[in-house]
Amino acid sequence: MSASTSGTSAPAAASRKSLKAFSEDVWKNKTAKINAELFTLTYGSIVSQLCTDYERDFTRVNNQLYSMGYNIGVRLIEDFLARTALPRCDSLAKTSEVISKCAFKVFLNVTPQIGNWSSNKDSFSIFLEENPLSDFVELPMDAARELWYSNIVCGVLKGALEMVQMDCDVWFVSDVLKGDQLTEVRVKLNRILKDEIPAGED
Amino acid sequence: MSHKIINPSTSVAQHPAPQGYDYTIGPQQTLPDLPQSMGPSSASTFASTGISTTGPSAASAASSTNLASGPSVYSSSLHPLAHTQQVSLAAYAFLFQEMVAQARNASKSVAEIELRLHRHGYHLGVRLLELLNFRSSVNASSRSAFFKTSTAGPSSTSATVSSSAPSAQLHGYHSHGSGDAAGATAAAAAAAAADDGHALAHSISHMKRRDLTMVEILQFVHSTVWTYLFGRPSDDLVKSSDRDNEFMIVDHAPLLTRFISSTNVQCDFFVCGVVEGVLDSACFPCAVTVHSVPDDKFPEKAVFVVRFESAVLEREALRA
């Protein structure tokens, strides 16, 4: 996505090997790992604490999860680029591929499917078959109607994509926790942001 | 707030088999083969009044919420191989950081932040004890049989179908499928479970003996819990020379707070919460605190101090 480190050998290696093998390699050899259940349980504890704090106002919980995700995303992209040194994506199709095969793999060790492209190719869906955030989770009845349990993912994608100059809307369409067949996250590209020089830097 | 009211179980009769945990009612038996029906209107009734007024009319509207079609959490496997096993430490560190930030924004003092982190961890701890004991009860031979079944297929399942009565009971909670498995015999359930290679319960013939003394349970925390959480046992387990009820678990480089530079907030209170949750649910009421004790070799060194309540000491004296 960013070309800041394109002089190194990693991007060349990435183009030779398939993206999938490349991210498999990054995951296996360059990533410190931690028990996924600890991650799952910690996230569950955060969500349930938010529900209590906001007195089960799930709209606020959704928004809070989203903004937590956003905060993560704007920093996570740095870590991602440092780890993978991938070059800038030339199309949204490429971006979607990097998100599913590389980003999700490197951070959460899952590879969601991409599909459901809009006709003008500006939006796509991510289908999370496995979701480490929501293992072992069953929503109480009132929460099942309004709460997007894994909403933090949307925020992360939004924040991360914004940092590589892509202004996107990201939202959940369906979630298996709510009884839907699939967990679907929709990403819609609004515009490409221009690099702007911060005020006073000129 | 209405949601703090927990209704007595008399209200259960008015519910035509709701699915999932309803916090206004408390724990209920949910069987996979019962007809699932819970209307959206009834859910909102709980939320607004805390009083259950669900009638058959609400149940008939249940088709609009397709909760029943989702896989129940009770039918998913507890086996460590059945789920994503690991995520990156970076992902966890980001999440942990947001948790700390959230705790900070919601608190007025340092003690309150630490209390919140402690509470987060506590929720984990009370769940861990059961899970880890359950998993460590899977003995080595059946474990290897499991690995064979998951790779080689049904040909090697015979070794695992040796269920005795207690394991047959466990099948009930882990029976697969949408309902008919619940009524099946233990042997059939065991065979079915062995076939798909995911049920763990059927390979347990004896549950591991519970830890009854302070030292035993602390060794469980020191080795099993620590290995589960951080991939290695803790660095030391020390008994205080001054006080009988005081023990110390030493970690030279706490994994979770690796990326947090030293501040006046001890983020390791999260781990304290986990330890206290485990000990509490094992009936060892205690208070756990953490102190950072940097030395030359290990600048990040943290000591978790466990102080048992006097009742635990008394009980131990009685047993001796």
Look at B66 and A42 and tell me if their CB atoms are within 8 Å: no
Report which DSSP code applies to B26: B
Domain extent for B61: 2-70
A43, A51 in Cβ contact below 8 A?
A: no
Q: Cα(A45)–Cα(B119) distance, rounded to whole angstroms? A: 9
Structure tokens at B50: 């805390």
Instruction: Please name the residue of chain A whose CA is at the shortest distance from the CA of residue B75.
Output: A136
Chain centroid, CA B24 distance in Å:
22
* Domains (range + CATH), chain A: 9-192 (3.30.1380.20)
The rounded distance, in Å, linking the Cα atoms of A111 and A97 is 10
b/e code A88-113 from CB counts within 10 Å (16+ = b): ebeebeebbebbbbbbbbbbbbbbbe
Q: CB–CB of A72 and B94 under 8 A?
A: yes
Determine, for residues B116 and A49 on separate chains, whether the beta-carbon distance falls below 8 Å.
yes
Same domain, B242 and B296: yes
Check if the beta carbon of residue B202 is closer than 8 Å to that of residue B158. no
Give the other-Cβ count within 10 Å of A195's Cβ.
5
Q: What 3-state DSSP class applies to A100?
A: helix
Q: Could A136 and B73 be called an inter-chain contact, meaning their C-beta atoms sit closer than 8 Å?
A: yes
B120 closest CB neighbour out of A49, A72, A141: A49
Shared domain for B10 and B147, answered yes or no, is no
In a domain, B123, yes or no: yes
Partner B contacted by A72 (CB < 8 A): yes
In a domain, B91, yes or no: no
User: Which residues on chain B are in Cβ contact (under 8 Å) with A48?
Assistant: 123
pLDDT for B117 equals: 94
Kind of pairing between the strands at B86-88 and A184-192 = unpaired
Nearest CB neighbour to B87, from listed A56, A132, A141: A132
Tokens encoding B181: 């498995």
With beta carbons under 8 A apart, name residues in chain A contacting B84: 36, 108-110, 130, 132, 135
Classify the C-alpha dihedral B105-B111-B112-B114 as positive or negative: positive
pLDDT beyond 70 at A126: yes
Given B22, B70, B88, which is nearest A107 (Cβ)?
B88
Q: What is the pLDDT of residue A200?
A: 74
Residue B278 lies in a domain: yes
- Which residues make Cβ contacts (< 8 Å) with residue B111, sequence separation at least 6? none
Identify the pLDDT of residue B19.
Answer: 57
- Contact between chains at A38 and B88 (C-beta distance less than 8 A): no
Angle between helices A58-84 and A36-53 (to 10 degrees): 150
Per-residue pLDDT, B47: 39
Q: Please classify residue B5 by burial: count the beta carbons closer than 10 Å to its beta carbon, then call 0-12 exposed, 13-18 middle and 19+ buried.
A: exposed
The whole-angstrom separation of Cα A107 and Cα A160 is 13
What average pLDDT score do residues A121-143 get?
90
Same domain, B144 and B293: no
- Cβ atoms within 10 Å of B81's Cβ, excluding its own: 12
Which chain A residues are within 8 Å of B21, Cβ to Cβ? 138, 140
SS3 A125: strand
- Cβ neighbours of B86 in A, within 8 Å: 33-36, 109
| Whole-number Å distance between alpha carbons of B242 and B127 | 32
Considering the domain architecture, whether residues B50 and B189 belong to the same structural domain is answered as no
Looking at beta carbons, which residues of chain B come within 8 Å of A176?
A: 70-71
How far CA B28 is from CA of B11, B31, B67, in Å, comes to 11, 10, 17
* CB within 8 Å: A39 and B92: yes
HEC sequence for A20-53: HHHHHHHHHHHCCEEEHHHHHHHHHHHHHHHHHH
> Per the CB < 8 Å rule, is B87 touching A36?
yes
Q: Tell if the CB–CB gap between A49 and B76 is shorter than 8 Å.
A: no
| Residue B77: inside a domain | no
B153 and B234 in a single domain? The answer is: no
pLDDT of residue A179: 86
Question: How much is the pLDDT for A164?
Answer: 92
Contact yes or no for A34 and B40 at CB 8 A: no
Phi, psi (rounded to 5 degrees) for A73: -60, -45
Same domain? For B124 and B221 the reply is: yes
- Rounded to whole angstroms, what are the CA distances from A85 to A103, A118, B153? 12, 29, 41
Residue B231's CATH number: 3.30.1380.20
Which chain A residues touch B76 with a CB distance below 8 Å? 135-136
Q: B211 or A172: whose pLDDT is higher?
A: A172
Asked if residue B163 and residue B104 are part of one domain, the reply reads: no
Q: Which of B21, B48, B98, B118 to mutate to test the interface with A (most CBs of A within 10 A)?
A: B98
B114-133 core/surface letters (b: 16 or more CB in 10 A; e: else): bebbbbbbbbbbbbbbeebb
Last residue of a domain, one of B182, B203, B224: B203
Contact state of A33 with B72 under an 8 Å Cβ cutoff: no
Would the CB atoms of B67 and A144 count as touching at under 8 Å?
Answer: yes
A33 reaches B (C-beta below 8 A)? yes
Amino acid at B265: V
Per DSSP, the residues of B133-145 read HHHHTS-HHHHHH
Residues A40-99 have pLDDT tens digits of: 999 999 999 999 999 999 999 999 999 999 999 999 999 999 989 899 898 999 999 999
Judgement on whether residues B171 and B285 belong to the same structural domain of the protein: no
pLDDT score, position B85: 82
pLDDT for B190: 41
The answer to whether residue B84 is domain-embedded is no
- How far is the C-alpha of A164 from the C-alpha of A168, rounded, in Å? 11
Question: Are B185 and B114 part of one and the same domain?
Answer: no
Q: How far is CA B239 from the centre of its chain?
A: 27
Q: B108 with B228, same domain?
A: yes
Residue at token pair 């549950």: B207
What are the backbone dihedrals phi and psi of residue B32, each rounded to the nearest 5 degrees, phi first?
Answer: -65, -20
What pLDDT band is residue A6 in, cutting at 50, 70 and 90? very low
- In this model, does residue A186 exceed pLDDT 60? yes
B266 with B244, same domain: the answer is: yes
Q: Do B123 and A44 touch (CB under 8 A)?
A: yes
B70 to A177: CB separation less than 8 angstroms, yes or no: yes
Q: Do B20 and A138 touch (CB under 8 A)?
A: yes
Of A32, A139, A145, the CB nearest to B88: A32
Question: Which of B70, B88, B109 corresponds to the end of one domain?
Answer: B70
Instruction: Kindly report the nearest CA distance between residue B127 and chain A, in angstroms.
Output: 9
Residue B305 in 3-state DSSP? strand
Three-state SS for B238? strand
As beta bridge partners, residue A167 has A191
Domain contains B246 = yes
pTM, whole model, 2 decimals?
0.73
3-class DSSP string for B12-53: HHHCCCCCCCECCCECCCCCCCCCCCCCHHHHHHHHHHCCCC
| B1, B42, B228 member nearest A55 (Cβ) | B1
Single-letter code of the amino acid located at B311: A
| Residue type present at position B245 | N
- The alpha-helical segments, DSSP class H, found in B106-233 are 110-136, 140-152, 165-174, 186-196, 214-219, 226-230
Question: According to the model, what pLDDT value does residue B233 have?
Answer: 93
DSSP β-bridge partners for residue B286: B308
Q: Which of B203, B219, B247 is the last residue of a domain?
A: B203
Contact between residue B307 and residue B286 where contact means Cβ atoms under 8 Å apart: yes
Interface of A with B in 151-170 (CB under 8 A): 152
- From first to last of its 320 residues, chain B has per-residue pLDDT tens of 555 565 555 544 444 445 556 666 666 655 444 444 444 444 333 333 333 333 333 333 333 344 444 456 666 666 666 677 889 999 999 999 999 999 999 999 999 999 999 999 999 899 888 888 888 887 655 555 555 444 333 333 333 333 333 333 333 333 333 333 333 334 444 444 444 444 566 677 778 888 889 999 999 999 999 999 998 999 999 999 999 999 999 999 998 888 888 677 888 999 999 999 999 999 999 999 999 888 899 988 999 999 999 999 999 999 87
Residue A30's pLDDT is what? 86
- Count structural domains, chain B: 3
Those of residues 104-133 in A touching chain B at CB distance below 8 A are 106-110, 130, 132
CB contact (8 A) between residue B95 and residue A141: no
Q: Give a yes or no: residue B78 inside a domain.
A: no
Residues B21 and B64 in one domain: yes
| Cross-strand pairs, B250 | B236, B303
ipTM, 2 decimals? Answer: 0.88
A174 and chain B in contact, CB less than 8 A: no
